[in-house]
Amino acid sequence: MDLGTRLAELLSYDSSSPLIFSSGLFLYLFVGFLFVYHLLRRTITARLLYVVAFSLFFYYKSSGMYFLLLLLAATYDFMIGYSLYRTRTPWIRKMLVVMSVAINLAMLGYFKYTNFLVELSNQLFGEGFLAFQNIFLPVGISFFVFQSMSYTIDIYRRQLKPLESWLDYLFYLSFFPGLLAGPIVRARDFIPQIRRKVCITREMLGTAIFLLLTGLFKKAIISDYIALNFVDRIFDDPTQYSGVECLMGLYGYALQIYCDFSGYSDMAIGLALMMGFRFPKNFDAPYQSATITEFWRRWHISLSSWLRDYLYISLGGNRKGRTRTYLNLLLTMLLGGLWHGAAIRFILWGALHGIALAIHKMWLSVVPGAKLAGREMNPVMRLLGVIFTFHIVCLGWLVFRADSMQTAMELLHQIFSNFQTNIFPQLFAGYPLAMTLIVVGFLLHFVPQSIDRRVEGLITRTPMWGQVALLVVMIWCVMQIKSSDIQPFIYFQF
What distance in Å separates the CA atoms of residue 232 and residue 436, rounded to the nearest whole number?
A: 17
Instruction: Give Cα separations from 219 to 230, 256, 300, 355, 357 (angstroms).
Output: 15, 8, 16, 31, 29
Q: Nearest-CA neighbor of 494 among 61, 72, 18, 143?
A: 143
* Angle (CA) 464 42 29, round 5°: 55
**183 in Cβ contact with 491 (< 8 Å):** no
Tell me how long the chain is.
494
Single-letter code of the amino acid located at 51: V
CA dist list (Å): 114 to 119, 135, 160: 9, 8, 33
Active centre residues (catalytic): 340
| Rounded alpha-carbon distances, angstroms, from residue 280 to 141, 182, 272 | 20, 10, 11
Cα-Cα-Cα-Cα torsion 42, 48, 49, 52, nearest 10 degrees, comes to 140
CA distance 140 to 63: 9
Residue pair 221/478 in contact (Cβ under 8 Å)? The answer is yes
Taking CA 98 as the corner, what is the angle to CA 97 and CA 101, rounded to the nearest 5 degrees? 85
Q: How far is CA 119 from CA 47, 126, 172, 342, in A?
A: 47, 10, 36, 10
Q: Do the beta carbons of residue 225 and residue 481 sit within 8 Å?
A: yes
